[in-house]
Every structure is written in structure tokens, then in C-alpha cells.
Amino acid sequence: MSKILLAFGVKLRIVVESFLTRGESDQACWRVMADPAPIAPIPPRRREPALPACEPRPAYRVESTARLSDTGEIRQMAIAAAASGEVEECRLRLECGDLADHERARLYCRLSEALYYRQSIAEAIECARTAFDLQPESDDVANLCAWVFSNCGRHEEAAAAYERMLVLRPQWAEGHRHASGSFAAAGRLDRAVIHGKRASDLAPNSFEFAFHAGCLLEAAGRHPQAIDYLMRAAALDPADPRVLRHLSAALYALEQTEQAVTFALRAVALAPTDRHSALHATELLLRAERYDEAAAIILDAVNSHPDDPVALRLLSAAQTLRSRTEDALDAIDRALRLAPETAEYHLHRANLLYRLGRLDEAALAFGDAAALDPSNGDAKRSQLTVYFDSGRFTEALAVGGELIRTSPDNEEYAQAVLQVLNRRLETLDGDYVVLSERPLRTPRKLRPRPTIFAALQTQMRVIHALIIRETRTRFGESKLGYGWALLEPVLHILMLSLVFAVMMRGRPPIGNEFFIFYYTGIIPYHLFVHTSSGMTYAITSNLSLLQLPLVSPFDLIIARGLLELITDTLVAVILLAGFGAVGLGVLPSDLPALSASVIAVWLFGCGIGFVNAVLNAFFKSWDKIWAQLTRILYFCSGIFYVPGMMPDWVRDILVWNPILHAVDWFRSSFFAEYEPHWLDRSYLAIVAVLSLVVGLGLERGVRRHLYEPQ
């Protein structure tokens, strides 16, 4: 039996290799597998070419020692299905057969390898996944699956297979190197660094492992560690210019410029024709202001690689810094003939033409750069300067208009356009145009009126921008910033708890915790006061914004109200989480009622806020009057007491206060047993809607006067 098993496994490998070398059809491969012909000697396997270091490389193909069992009829049926090209039927045969998991996994491995060689990549991956799922603990199965995954570009799965093998063989240096390469190819640089370092530490005499780890660390920005591993690689092979180049880059990142230049020059000396070493050394020398040395090195590189546009660009930069502008222009022209679609080359050429005083050519070159890279405002800005210097103010204004349209908040662009306008107005004194001789312009088509949905989208964007602006300016002068929004209710709750804990002998009117009781009173009160007071100053503090055509007083006021809602809601959630963290966790018993009470009190605050904003725009002392009224509300809204504790005649007066109903509505959402008979939720809702209607109507009625400075 063992001889049969071995013969079948050896035959499978011979068949696959002969299929690959002769390029025979898929059917031929499987027919040979089923043919009981004698087995030929195994030819030597071709050695795979080495991959460049620092590049994620696929796993080395490991000879599988798995032996396929002679499963009789099941195996023959699976082979027959595969020979006919029915891969799915072949898999079904393997699934339906009475095979152990380890035997089925080995068969799937063989099938996956054969499918890979016949370029059935998707089927090969699926078979490898099935094998890996059946026997993830098997070293042989994981090894072959990792090889298939890596060669098929499934690097995440290859890395998982290698990590599975490393659990069984944690000291396997090559396994760590393979896992590192797979993780790097998958974009998981952090995991790649871990395995790369481990591989080099397990095999400290391996140049390739040390170099790979150093390159990964350099790419991750961990330059001190990168230098350690690159120095290890340099000690193992001092004549490798790649190590010296990467070591130079890491040293330069640590601002050790002189050492970086020394290693870069040594790399060039070791490999004078190496393009990468020459480019790297030239860049470092230019940054170190050693222009003549940089020019000498890059000239040699250009002679060795005359069709390299990057080398020609660096040569142009070196000649520019040496004040040899004509030579620099010649170099960049050669680079552009090789890479005409590179916007940066056109921009550099335009700057050289501007230095030479060839303004018309410079303007065209800046225009080419801007056309290739519309997002780069520097090209347009430079083109505007060229037009201005050459006296072509009309073209300069056209370019300036494009700059303002793409970057309306850029102050530099605005100043440049203003300078052009001023210069243009100075030249108009001597220009007289007869109106009748002016060519008639084609009348412009009227823009269609925006739809309701488009207008709503525009207004939402305006309000969003205003909220962001208010967020940055509300506590801009305070060192604590938004910490004050959290500190204010905390101080109120702490003060009330300390005072009334003594007066009430340690027990609140409702519940067991003073903090929760006063929390349910202060949150709705602050939401109303902050909203109504914040909206009061919305117009007077933002009059300049009303000069923008898209901004209306409504946008300014509602943006303040929405900001207060968001801020106070976040503060309430943070406080509740803080109470839970210290062991005072009490969640609301009726979340929908809680949400309804918050919305109702906020709408009431918005209605009063609209009224306050209009009144404060015309009566400058109204904000001071409103501040005193809110202090009275603090004592009349049931924040630190229950209205049931008051005499009936006092309570009958207090229930006219809508904030009292807001507090009790909010409080009853936390304490299920608290359901006061005087609570009228509809009263608060009606007052909120009426105040909102009055506030919006008042703002709409006097909107035109609000634009005028008072």
C-alpha cells in the first residue's frame, strides 16, 4: 500500500511538471494522471530566481511530502472528473467520499497545485482554502497552501498560513521572513515589521533578512531601529550599494546630513552605473548645497541612462542652482520629450523661462502645467504673475477669476487679483471706447431656478459651515475650551448635592442619589437657557456674514440653536456615563419620553431664541434683561425641589412656567414612580410650537432691516 501511495504522489508531481514544461492542454495533464504508465525518474526542479530584497516575495515552493492515500474508487472517480475538466464534480467526489479530514486535505492540496499550474487560479485558491480549513494544524498543508496563496496574490491568506506554521515552529527564521513578505504585500506594514525583525534576530548572519527588516522599518518611519538592522546588513556585505543607500536615507531622516551624504557617496563609488544610487546621492548633495558635486554625479548618470527623465530633471535642478539657466532649460526640455505628461516638469520649465525673461513662453508653460494638474493652484498663480509682469491684465484677471472660484478662502490669491485690478484701473484713464463701436456680446442664458431639493441642500451646507464656525469661536478665548460646557453642570450638581444633602439629612426627594436628582433638573434647564441665550447674539455678532448672498439671519440663528442642542446632549451623555463609572449608574426608564422632553424644551428655547435675536438686534440692552429673567427661572422651575413640596397656591402659580413641566417630564423619564398630577406635557408642546411660530414670523417680518448695521 505504501508503495502505491508513494508512486501516485511522485507521478502527480511528474505530470504537473511535464505539463508546465511542454505546455500541453488541461485534458492531457489529467489523462496522464489516470494512465497507469511506468513512472519516469524525477527531473531536477528549476531554481526560482531570487527576488530583490525589500520587495514582498512569494513563499519558496516547498516540496510537499504529503502522500495521497489509495482510496480506490473515490480517487479514480475524482481523477476522471478532473480529467474531463469538471473541477466542481471532482470536488464533489472528494466531499462525498468516506475520507478522513487529513486525507481529504492532502488531496485538495494536490488538486490546488495542479490547478495552479493549469492557470485555473480561482479554483486553485478555493481548493487551497478548503484544504487549509480541513487541516489548519498540519505543517505540510499550511506550507503548500501558503505557497498557492502567495503565488495567486492572496497575501493576507498566505500570511495567515505562515503564522499558523509559526505557531508550531516559532524558531523558523525563513517562515518569519515569508510571513513578513506576505504582510508587506498585503499592506500590513506593522505585522510585516514584527516578523521581519524576528527573522533577522533568529538568523543574524543572514544579509537578506537584515536588509529586509531595515527597509521595512525605514518605510514605517522607525529610523533608529532601521539603522540598527541596516548596519547589521552592511557588516555582512559592505559592498552592497542598496544597503548604503537606505542607510543614508535613514540617517538623513534623523537630520544627520553629513553621515548620510558620506554613505550615499560610498554607494555611488561601489556602483557608479547604478541609477538609484546616483539619484539619491544627487538629491542629498543638492540639499546639502554641494551643487558642483551633485552636478558631476548626475551628469555621469545621464550619460549612462540618457532616456531617464528623472535624472534629467535632477540635472536641470543642479544646473539651476549653479546659475546655469540655459543648461537647466536644455535638460528639462529633454526630460519633457521623454515624459510630456508630467505637470511638475512643465512647472519647472516655466520658472526657467520666466528667469530668462521669455514671458510669453513661460505663460504657455504655466498653462500646460495647470491643464495637466488642475488641483495645483501654484501653476495658475504663477501664470497670473507672468501675465501681470507682461502687461496682459485681461488674461491675468481671467486666471485670477479661476483661482478665486476654486479657492475662495485663499487670501494670497485674493490679494493678487486685487493688485491686478488696481493696476488695470490705472491704465483705463487713457482708454476710451465708443459704445456704438463695441461688438455686441451674445446674451447669456438665464440659469434655471434651483429646485426645492437643491435649495434645501444649499441651505443645509450653509448651516453646517456656520455650525463649524461657531464651534471654533464659542470658547476660542478660553484655555479650557469646551471643557467649560462640561464643567458648568458639574459645578451646579456638586453644589446643590452638598448643600441639600445636609439640609435633607442625606436623602433626596426622589430616588436614592442627590447627583441623579439634580442632574434631571439641571440638564433641561441648561438646554433651554443655553439655546435661548446663545441665539440672542447670533445676529449682532455675525453681521459681516450677512453680506454673503447665501447667508440669511435664519441660518445664523438656527446654527446657534443646533450647536447648543448638540453640545448639551453630549454633556448629558458624558455626565450619565461618568455617574455609571463611579457606581451611580441610573438609566432612564422611558427613553422615548426622555427624547420627547428634550426635543420639546429645545423647540421652546429656539422659539424664544428667535424672538431674543430680533429684539437684541434693535434693543442693545435686551440681553442683560434676559439674563436676569433666566436667573429667576432657576428658582421657579423645580430644579432642586419637587413642586409637590410647595403649598397648593404656590404650585398653582409655578405650573404656568413651561420649564417646570420640561423638568418634571425629563425627571419622570428617569424615575418610573414619579408621575406628578400637575405635569401637562401637551401644555409644554403647545407653548413650544407657538413660541417657534412667533419667533420665525418676527424674524421673517423684519429680515430686511436685520441686514442694516444698527
Lowest mean pLDDT among 215-224, 481-490, 662-671: 481-490
CA separation for the pair 124, 117 (Å, rounded): 9
**Higher-confidence position of 686 and 257:** 686
Q: Are residues 396 and 539 in the same domain?
A: no
Confidence of residue 50 (pLDDT cuts 50, 70, 90): very low
Residue 221 reports pLDDT greater than 70: yes
Let me know whether 545 and 648 are in one domain. yes
Last residue of a domain, one of 168, 185, 206: 168
Residues 628, 570: one domain? yes
Q: Are residues 413 and 461 in the same domain?
A: no
What lies within 8 Å, CB to CB, of 16 at 6+ separation is 29, 113, 114, 117
**pLDDT band at residue 474 using 50, 70 and 90 as cut-offs:** low
Long-range own/partner contacts, residues 79-83 (CB < 8 A, 24 or more apart): 79/30, 79/33, 79/34, 80/34, 82/30, 82/33, 82/111, 82/114, 83/27, 83/30, 83/31, 83/33, 83/34
d(CA 607, CA 693) in angstroms, rounded, equals 7
Over 60: is that where the pLDDT of 75 sits? no
pTM more than 0.75? no
Does the residue 616 lie in any domain? yes
End residue of a domain, out of 427, 445, 470: 427
| pLDDT at 252 exceeding the cut of 60 | yes
476 plus 409 within the same structural domain: no
Residue 238 lies in a domain: no
The tens digit of pLDDT for each residue in 383-427 reads 777 777 777 777 777 777 777 777 777 777 777 776 766 665 555
478 in the same domain as 368:
no
Residue 180 backbone zone (phi > 0: left; psi -120 to 50: alpha; other: beta): alpha
Distance CA 2, CA 219 (A): 51
Q: What's the mean pLDDT in 507-513? A: 74
Q: Evaluate if residue 111 carries a pLDDT over 80.
A: no
Average pLDDT value for residue range 589-607: 90
Question: Which is higher by pLDDT, 541 or 75?
Answer: 541
Q: Quick check: 65 and 94 in contact, CB under 8 A?
A: no
Give the residue-averaged pLDDT of 673-690: 88
Of residues 547 and 313, which shows the higher confidence score?
Answer: 313
**Mean of all residue pLDDT scores within the chain:** 75
CA 139 to chain centre: 38
What pLDDT, on a 0 to 100 scale, did the predictor assign at position 67? 36
In terms of average pLDDT, the best of 2-11, 255-264, 498-507, 592-601 is: 592-601
**Which pLDDT score, from 0 to 100, does residue 690 have?**
94
pLDDT at 42 over 70: no
Amino acid 49: pLDDT? 36
Is the pLDDT assigned to residue 363 strictly greater than 90?
Answer: no
Q: Would you place residue 52 in the very low, low, confident or very high pLDDT band (cuts 50, 70, 90)?
A: very low
Whether the pLDDT of residue 44 is over 60: the answer is no
Checking if the pLDDT of 599 tops 90, the result is yes
| pLDDT category of residue 687 using cuts at 50, 70 and 90 | very high
- Mention every residue, 6+ apart, whose C-beta is less than 8 A from residue 249: 218, 260, 280
Q: Which residue has the cell 496682459?
A: 392
Check which CATH number belongs to the domain holding 20 and give it: 1.25.40
| CB-based burial label for 584 (10 Å; 0-12, 13-18, 19+) | middle
Domain boundary among 427, 462, 484: 427
The pLDDT of 443-454, averaged and rounded, is: 65
pLDDT above 80 (res 223) = yes
Q: How confident is the model at residue 596 (pLDDT cuts 50, 70, 90)?
A: very high
Residue 218 lies in a domain: no
Whether 406 and 499 map to the same domain: the answer is no
Residue 111 lies in a domain: yes
Statement to judge: residues 153 and 49 lie in one domain: yes
Is 303 contained in some domain? no
Structural domain includes residue 307: no
CA atoms within 13 Å, Cβ hemisphere of 275:
12
Flag whether 491 is in a domain. yes
- Among 109-113, 448-452, 529-533, 655-659, the least confident range: 448-452
Residues 471 and 421 in one domain: no
Rounded CA-CA distance 110/144 in Å is: 9
Residue 528 pLDDT: 92
Same domain for 631 and 562, yes or no, is yes
123 and 60 within one domain: yes
Helix (H, G, I), strand (E, B) or coil at 107: helix
Where are the strands (E) in 15-109, listed by range? none
* Predicted pLDDT of residue 602: 92
Distance between CA atoms of 124 and 368, rounded to whole angstroms?
49
**pLDDT over 70 for what percent of the chain?**
75
- Give the position of cell 521581519: 196
Following DSSP, what letter does each residue of 339-364 receive, concatenated? -TT-HHHHHHHHHHHHHTT-HHHHHH
Nearest to 16 by CA among 38, 42, 37: 42
Res 144 pLDDT > 80: no
Residue 364 belongs to a domain with what CATH number?
Answer: 1.25.40.10
Domain that holds residue 629: 453-706
Q: Environment class of residue 428 by beta-carbon count within 10 Å: exposed (0-12), middle (13-18) or buried (19+)?
A: exposed
Higher per-residue pLDDT: 292 or 426: 292
Same domain, 35 and 124: yes
Amino acid 467 reads I
Phi, psi of 179 (to 5 degrees): -60, -40
Distance CA 619, CA 613 (A): 10
Handedness of CA 492, 494, 497, 501 (dihedral sign): negative
Question: Is the model's pLDDT at 24 over the cut of 50?
Answer: no
- 230 falls within a domain: no
Percent of the chain with pLDDT over 90: 5
- Grid cell listed for 375: 488641483
Query: How far, CA to CA in Å, does 130 sit from each of 119, 133, 159, 603, 684?
Result: 18, 5, 16, 60, 65
Question: Mean per-residue pLDDT for 337-364?
Answer: 85
Query: What is the tally of structural domains in the chain?
Result: 3
Q: Are 358 and 332 in contact (CB under 8 A)?
A: no
Residue 709 has pLDDT above 50, yes or no: no
